[in-house]
Structure 1
Amino acid sequence: MKFHPIILLALLTVAACKDKPKPVVTSPPRPTTSTDGSRISFPDSVMMRAFTTQPARSGAIHTDFSAPGHVAAMVVRSSENPAERLVLFDDPGLSDNYTAILQHRINIQTERGNLERVKDLQAHGAASGKEVIEAQTQLANEEAAIISDEATLKLAGFDPEALRTARPNTILVVCEIPENQFGSIRRGLNCTLNFTAFPNERFAGRIDNVNDYVDNTTRQIKLRISVANPDGRLKAGMFATAEFGIKEAGQFITVSRDAIVTVQGRDYVFVRTAPQVIERRPVELGQQREDRVVVQNGLKESDQVVTANVLQLKGLSFGY
């Protein structure tokens, strides 16, 4: 059988292609992360080039102690009853809690009076022991309910009793300070506030309350600051920075502000611990000075802290 030359060439080409091995496709090497995300290992030094580092350094720092905050509530006079105070919260949930507390107080007074009345009736044979127990139960229920609402307000930085006696035309600013700086703060301390809405003005304030607990997650303590607001310019929800007139000086370890990531209220940096290994470190931060931030705990001097592409490391470490 004879083949046309063109057909023969085509057949030979197909046969050659069948005999040629297919190239093996390999995926590029990827970094590996430990189960808890705290340790990231890179397959080669080329990948590490993207994560430049700077050493954590110790030096003399002078900082003015300040803390961010926001106007969490306003106190105004009631238009219906000028002797009463209205508290306008920026959080509707807290408004519900405060309103419930006021109602519980009324109910408690009512139930106490009812219990005394039923006891008096029982003493004269006009009420049974069952009725006394029912009255006692109603009072106990109201007293238990108010405790829950009061606890919610206190967790948010408010003392329910102080709200009832707060001065009208006042705003209440809630700030948070790190646990390790708590020793510098006390109730009654005067402070100065700068509001984002009025950047060129300063407002005088006073610390009315320091919370009795430290947040387990953030290790922060809430402060409540009262500020006079006679003209009503300051509104609930506005952001502010409180300056406490306290200067801190000494030898502090600092890192670049670009090195810090925050996840669920906790601060972290990434440290190169080997030529191709980066580890996540939780840190406690102090005050910021220009582009450097004081690290109170979690680093030692000369630790190689990553300052570039830290968001990529955050994604590898935390999974997002």
Structure 2
Amino acid sequence: MKFPSILLLTLLLVGCKEKPKPVVTSIPRPVISADGSRITFSDSVMMRAFTTQPVHSAAIQTDFSAPGHVAAMVLRSGENPSERLVLFDDPSLSDNYTAILQHRINIQTERGNLERVKDLQAHGAASGKEVIEAQTQLANEEAAIISDEATLKLAGFDPVALRRAAPNTILVVCEIPENQFGSIRKGLVCTLNFTAFPNERFAGRIDNVNDYVDNTTRQIKLRISVANPDGRLKAGMFATVEFGVTEGQFMTVLRDAVVTVQGRDYVFIKTGPELIERRAVQLGQQRADRVVVQSGLRENDQVVAANVLQLKGLSFGY
């Protein structure tokens, strides 16, 4: 019979047909913003690997310190013991301070000259033009001294305080973050450790707090006076200034939540169900496995605490 043969042939033909290939779907990749600061995932499942911890302010104790350098030395003048000789580590500041001293002399001279010309005019021996010229000379000197004083103040020095500074004293300039300004005041005692004398501590006192905050760094300059009777401390030396223990409300994050790129510190914040953002932060002292965050975070920010290096690679293209 032919029927079995036909059935067998049909079964063979069906079996030889090509099986359909499985459909391969590509794994969705996160979308990175042009500057790398925003990472958007395709779904919430991919976000599960990046667990977060909310940050809160808490009462802790932290040592507050800042780098500084000896910007000037104050000595007694050999020619005039009542005057102060100030040696700056920056020659341009020496020029400014010398110019201020000369302007002070010139102003006294021009004031005397103006009074003399006014007196001569009152007696008919000088003209109004001569009075105007004398007034102009005085005004020019007063304007010039203001310019030089402003330059010194921007560098952390008060010209009046320099003239009154005790001989055999060094003046250390350091900068502190804006958010630490509340714990700093004039007259505060601090401790300094100089690179040249690592095993010694020197007592200092804050003489001046600058009147402005740097627009770029958000830092405020301080000037600290330190007794230097034996002359061991020299202009240009580097120091670490310790302001003692500060108690207050601080935010902290896990040290492993922080990544450092080109000298700057960052954390990653979950800001949406499928969105993570990079945030620059300024760090303070480290306590065990946590580090104080002085600026860059807000209360209840959700900081990513796991697989942070993966986010670093996505954000910075590493």
Q: TM-score, normalised by structure 1?
A: 0.74
Match of 1:236? 235
Separation of aligned partners in 1, 2:315 and 2:163: 45
Match of 1:17? none
Spell out the pairing of 1:136-215 with structure 2 (5 A cutoff): 136-215=135-214
Amino acid at match of 1:280: R
Spell out the pairing of 1:9-20 with structure 2 (5 A cutoff): none
Match of 2:69? 70
Larger radius of gyration: 2
Q: 2:259 aligned with 1:259, yes or no?
A: yes
Partner residue of 1:298 out of 292, 296, 317: 296
Separation of aligned partners in 2, 1:215 and 1:148: 19
Amino acid at match of 2:105: I
Separation of aligned partners in 2, 1:314 and 1:72: 40
Q: Is contact 1:186-1:207 (8 Å) kept?
A: yes
Shift of the alpha carbon at 1:60? 6.0
SS at 2:233 equivalent? coil
Q: Is contact 1:268-1:280 (8 Å) kept?
A: no
SS at 1:200 equivalent? coil
Paired residues, number:
280
Separation of aligned partners in 2, 1:83 and 1:123: 38
For the aligned residue pairs, the C-alpha RMSD in angstroms reads 3.5
Match of 2:268? 271
Separation of aligned partners in 2, 1:231 and 1:201: 14
Task: Note the alpha carbon deviations across 1:136-165, whole angstroms, 9 max, x for none.
Answer: 001001101111111111111111000001
Separation of aligned partners in 2, 1:313 and 1:152: 45
Amino acid at match of 1:259: V
Question: Larger deviation: 222-231 or 53-62?
Answer: 53-62
Q: Is contact 1:255-1:295 (8 Å) kept?
A: no
Shift of the alpha carbon at 1:221? 1.7
Match of 1:92? 91
Shift of the alpha carbon at 1:278? 5.8
Match of 2:9? none
Task: Note the alpha carbon deviations across 1:29-60, whole angstroms, 9 max, x for none.
Answer: 998643xx36355999xxx9xxx998575566
Question: Larger deviation: 72-81 or 156-165?
Answer: 72-81
Identity across the alignment (%): 72
Separation of aligned partners in 1, 2:173 and 2:97: 16
For structure 2, the residue ranges without an aligned partner over 5 or more in a row are: 1-28
Amino acid at match of 1:281: R
Separation of aligned partners in 1, 2:231 and 2:311: 43
For structure 1, the residue ranges without an aligned partner over 5 or more in a row are: 1-28
Shift of the alpha carbon at 1:62? 2.3
SS at 2:200 equivalent? strand
SS at 2:201 equivalent? strand
Amino acid at match of 2:259: A
Shift of the alpha carbon at 1:314? 8.7
Q: 1:290 to 1:239 in 2, by over 3 A?
A: farther
